């Protein structure tokens, strides 16, 4: 897993447990998505995980806030979600509200990341 001090520093500025959950989530993302690139987007206040520079090449995002943490999925509207974790009303994106360390390690989160990768491969 790459050590990106900018992303880690960005995540560390939020109150606990946001940084702790974000770092755990980051670890899962790097494990499930081989060769993924991490990109800090300060204006959007998120960390993006993608295989290129275009929106179509983005798989997911970590979105921290003072209130909590979200795992966003570009094209999340198209992902199978049998556990009904995905929230949001956008035309393309969806997110999962991260509420616990157990949730981060859950098969449901891993499956969403795997489905995001499958959807990416179909898009490109």
Ordered alpha helix ranges (H), the chain: 5-12, 18-32, 101-104, 107-123
What pLDDT is attached to residue 94? 97
To the question of pTM greater than 0.85 for the whole model, the response is yes
Q: Which residue has the tokens 């966003």?
A: 72
The residues, any chain, with a CB within 8 Å of residue 107's CB and separated by 6 or more, are: none
Write out the residue range of the structural domain in which residue 61 sits.
5-123
The alpha carbon dihedral of 11, 12, 15, 18 has a sign of positive
Cβ proximity of 113 and 32 under 8 Å: yes
If one counts the domains in the chain, the total is 1
What pLDDT is attached to residue 1? 55
- Measure the CA angle with vertex 94, ends 59 and 65; round to 5°: 90
- Grouping H, G, I as helix, E, B as strand and the rest as coil, residue 94 is strand
What pLDDT is attached to residue 109? 98
- pLDDT per residue as tens, the chain (124 positions): 555 689 999 999 999 999 999 999 999 999 999 999 999 999 999 999 999 988 889 999 999 999 999 999 999 999 999 999 999 999 999 999 999 999 999 999 999 999 999 999 998 8
CA dist 12 and 85 (Å) reads 25
CA dist 38 and 99 (Å) reads 23
What CATH number has the domain bearing residue 31? 3.90.1150
């Amino acid at each position: 897993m790459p050590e990106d001090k900018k992303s880690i520093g960005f995540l560390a500025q939020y109150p606990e447990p946001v940084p702790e959950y974000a770092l755990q989530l980051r670890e899962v993302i790097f494990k499930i998505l081989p060769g993924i690139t991490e990109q800090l987007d300060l204006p959007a206040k998120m960390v993006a995980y993608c295989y290129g520079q275009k929106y179509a090449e983005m798989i997911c995002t970590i979105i921290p806030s003072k209130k909590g943490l979200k795992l966003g999925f570009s094209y999340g509207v198209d992902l199978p979600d049998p556990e009904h974790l995905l929230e949001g009303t956008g035309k393309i994106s969806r997110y999962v509200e991260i509420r616990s360390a157990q949730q981060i390690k859950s098969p449901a989160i891993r499956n969403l990341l795997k489905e995001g990768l499958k959807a990416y491969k179909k898009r490109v």
